[in-house]
Amino acid sequence: MGCKVLNGRELATRIKSELKSEVEALKKKGIFPGLAVIIVGNDPASRVYVNSKKKACEEIGIQSFEYALDEDTGEEELIGLINKLNKDDKVNGILVQLPLPKQINEDKVINSIDPKKDVDAFHPVNVGKLMTGNPVFLPCTPAGVMELIKESGIDITGKECVVIGRSNIVGKPMAVLLLSQNGTVTVCHSKTANLEEKIKNADIIVAAVGKPEFIKGNFIKPGAIVIDVGINRLEGKKLVGDVEFETAKEVASAITPVPGGVGPMTIAMLMKNTVKAAVFQKEGI
């Protein structure tokens, strides 16, 4: 049967092309979607992410506004900038690149973003809406994973889904989205007993544990779908996921590569949320 490699780059390109047409139509109606990205300090990985977000905005026709602040920026200054952007009609989405320097409380910063402009879907209001089944915005990485699973052609209903990782950004919302599609979900983490056994029962595995090549092919049930959210840089600069790709693809029916799997989808979903935010704000939703 062979293993299908789920190409996130191709799927993201398709989604961005649809969004580009949508943005062109919106501009004719006087709606010009705009995304503000704030980066504090000069973390190289954060800079790479911010640049790819800017490039995606250009491709689609979304205005992008970048605010690069010094490493020693204070919390008040950052929240002051967010308050200004909350009131700026040209800005439909506000994204603060995480992690932030240690003098800044991430929760306070996230809470200061207007939920209607929170295109990352990290604000407690948006998290609450997701939990109760009425989301306005879907968190970008889990939403991208759902698109990739859909692309694999599998119906999630009734499937055993194992999410490895319980972060607020990926693990928890991922579990909620799989549940919303009638999956039977187990969330595993560093304190889970018999982790390997739980993974072996899974029809769908979403790995977001942050450990390079942690999940081996012999952990995986034949025919399972493996979505690798991890991105780890090895000493030789090579990027690998949380799954050992070569051994896993011998067993899985579908798998995402790293790089080129979930990463491009996260950015495509961010663009989708920004366009959605522009429409909602214009319509007063």
Annotated binding site: 165-167, 231
Q: Catalytic residue at 54? A: no
HSE toward the beta carbon, residue 58, CA cutoff 13 A: 7
Interaxial angle between packed helices 171-180 and 124-131, expressed in degrees from 0 to 180 and rounded to the nearest 10: 30
For residues 121 and 130, give the distance between their C-alpha atoms in angstroms, rounded to a whole number: 9
Round the CA-based radius of gyration of the chain to a whole number and report it.
Answer: 19
Sheet with strand 93-96: strands edge to edge:
63-69, 34-40, 93-96
- Residues making up the annotated binding site for NADP(+) are 165-167, 231
> Which residues, listed in sequence order, are joined to residue 206 by a DSSP beta bridge?
163, 227
Q: Catalytic residue at 155? A: no
For residues 235 and 227, give the distance between their C-alpha atoms in angstroms, rounded to a whole number: 24
User: How many of the other CB atoms lie within 10 Å of CB of 10?
Assistant: 12
**Catalytic position from the list 97, 198, 249, 272:** 97
* Strand ranges for the chain from DSSP E: 4-5, 34-40, 63-69, 93-96, 160-164, 184-188, 204-207, 225-228, 232-233, 239-240, 254-255
For residues 216 and 211, give the distance between their C-alpha atoms in angstroms, rounded to a whole number: 12
For residues 198 and 215, give the distance between their C-alpha atoms in angstroms, rounded to a whole number: 12
For residues 92 and 85, give the distance between their C-alpha atoms in angstroms, rounded to a whole number: 9
**Catalytic position from the list 117, 118, 120, 249:** 120
Asked whether the bond before 99 is cis by omega within 30 degrees of 0, the reply is yes
Q: Catalytic residue at 88? A: no
**Phi/psi at 38 (nearest 5 deg)?**
-110, 125
Catalogue the active-site residues.
53, 97, 120
